[in-house]
Structure 1
């Protein structure tokens, strides 16, 4: 190994030592060990150190074809110590700022997406829903009006018959008269009940529409 190769190896390992310090701080910042399960921390640690080992070996392979010397460990320790004493505070500050900017950018895009995509879709569905309710209310009012009209029309048509029936009732035997009276009361009661039910449904639907 030539002197220039050894020099480049030393520089590379010092850089890798600083990289290791920054990687440890970044890993600890995102992992947040107290909030994670132990088995998850253990698995993440294995992957982290395996990745760091591969990076160190790749650096050695690129610089001196993978030859290992004792001074390489010293160079790594020097780089790590230099990071801890000179770069760590600055790096952590930059890391926090980058995280905050990323989070704010993410929230901004979410807000823009909500304004441009979600809110218009919500308004469209709300308008469609209100339109359907309006159509249903209109049809319901027409149905109620038709029923009341038919009911009133039937009452008008039956009124002469009722008068004639009252005149003829005296000519009918008493047993038949009682039977006809019972049938008439049943029919009248049935129609009145149906009218009351429709009135209740109409008032309930009107209250529901006002709430909407």
Structure 2
């Protein structure tokens, strides 16, 4: 391995150590979101370290075709230590600022969607439902009014006919109507009783 290749490899692996420190702090920053769930916590930890191992190996492969040497490990450790000593405080501030910007952008987009999409659709649905209900009640009112007009002559004929019926016949008809009404009430009570027993 030439000196140029060794130097590039050390530089890449040093940068990999800095990268490792940054992603670890980023991971720890978001860890409280899933920490209460034990399964998610361990799953994310395992996936995180597998992913970082693959990323570091990819960097090493780009640098020297994947040859692992002691100085490469030391370069990664030095990069991580340099990050902890020099860049960590600045990076965490930048990370917090980015989180605030992204959170504010998400809130803005959410309000934008709510104002220009959700509320108009909700208002449209509410208006359509009100119109349908208004049309339904108006149609029913018109239908009942027409039925009253249509049935009025029959009611009138019935009243006149009832007045012409003899008193004895009226009494008989009222008794029959009362009898059928009682039977109907008894049947309804028994049906309710059976339905309650089934429950």
| TM-score scaled by length of structure 1 | 0.69
1:151, CA displacement in angstroms? 5.3
For residues 99-134 of structure 1, give each alpha carbon's deviation from its aligned partner in whole angstroms, at most 9, with x where no partner exists: 222222223223222333322222222222111211
For residues 180-210 of structure 1, give each alpha carbon's deviation from its aligned partner in whole angstroms, at most 9, with x where no partner exists: 34437988xxxxxxxxxxxxxxxxxxxxxxx
**Structure 1: how far apart are the matches of 2:144 and 2:174?**
24
Q: Does 1:28 align with 2:28?
A: yes
Aligned position for 2:7: 7
Aligned position for 1:57: 57
Q: Can you give the 5+ residue segments of structure 1 that lack an aligned partner in the other structure?
A: 170-176, 188-212
**Structure 1: how far apart are the matches of 2:141 and 2:176?**
27
1:57, CA displacement in angstroms? 2.2
Aligned position for 2:99: 99
Q: Cα 1:146–1:182, aligned 2, differ >3 Å: closer, same or farther? A: farther
Equivalences, count:
176
Question: Which structure: larger Rg?
Answer: 1
8 Å contact kept, 2:35–2:41: no
For residues 70-107 of structure 1, give each alpha carbon's deviation from its aligned partner in whole angstroms, at most 9, with x where no partner exists: 22222222211111121111111221222222222223
Aligned position for 1:124: 124
Q: Cα 1:145–1:85, aligned 2, differ >3 Å: closer, same or farther? A: same
For residues 15-73 of structure 1, give each alpha carbon's deviation from its aligned partner in whole angstroms, at most 9, with x where no partner exists: 11111100111122223363231x43333222222222222222222223333332222
1:184-199 maps to which residues of 2 (within 5 A)? none
Aligned position for 2:90: 90
Where 2:35 maps in the other structure, the secondary structure is helix
**Structure 2: how far apart are the matches of 1:186 and 1:133?**
42
**Structure 2: how far apart are the matches of 1:121 and 1:60?**
54
**Structure 2: how far apart are the matches of 1:91 and 1:135?**
63
Which has the larger displacement, 149-158 or 40-49? 149-158
